[in-house]
Amino acid sequence: MAIAQSLQKYLAENGVAYETVHHTHTNSSMNSAYSAHIPGNLLAKSVILKDDNGYMMAVVPATEHVKTRKVNHALKRHFGIATEPELESLFTDCELGAIPAVAQPYSMEAVVDHKFDDCSDIYIEGGDHEELVHIKGTAYRRLMKNSQHENIC
């Protein structure tokens, strides 16, 4: 599988240069980072949350875990984790567990951890378990400029 079509289209529409990083098939973000020989703190992973108002993408480094308590406090909402069947219907061009950490192509809001505020390079899942997308940190922050930035790890 190649990069998710929604992600490819969004990057092209926004003039974002990127490169793909192929790695062996993995089942977690940390394993992807290890297999691709990149630091886990530079791999942005997405965790999809939901509440009565809809879905929210939380973006944290692969080395961290989303603290829903912190998200709920920062956003004044009451999120839980979305289920796998929900993810399948929201991200039809992605494999489960390989959702790109860019919310806009999927018409979703996002909250991004502050740990990405100064990174010069950022990697995201490409939509499958064998490709990462490498973009400059400035480009990622531009793509995520309408997202809230909070301490959510």
Tens-place pLDDT, residues 27-44: 999 999 999 999 999 999
Task: Enumerate the β-bridge partners of residue 133.
Answer: 20, 124
Average pLDDT over residues 92-103: 95
44-87: per-residue pLDDT in tens? 999 999 999 999 999 999 999 999 999 999 999 999 999 999 99
* pLDDT level of residue 2 (50, 70, 90 thresholds): confident
Q: Is 3 helix (H, G, I), strand (E, B) or coil?
A: coil
**85: Cβ contacts below 8 Å, ≥ 6 apart:** none
**What's 18's DSSP letter?**
-
Average pLDDT, the chain: 95
CA 111/CA 13 separation, integer angstroms:
22
CATH number at residue 101: 3.90.960.10
Query: Any idea which residue has 């999120």 for tokens?
Result: 79
Which residue range(s) make up the domain with 22?
A: 5-150
Does the structure show a pLDDT above 60 at 105?
Answer: yes
What pLDDT is attached to residue 82?
96
Number of domains the chain contains: 1
Does the structure show a pLDDT above 70 at 1?
Answer: no
CB atoms within 10 A of CB 13: 10
CA 153/CA 146 separation, integer angstroms:
20
**Half-sphere CA count of 29, side-chain side, radius 13 A:** 26
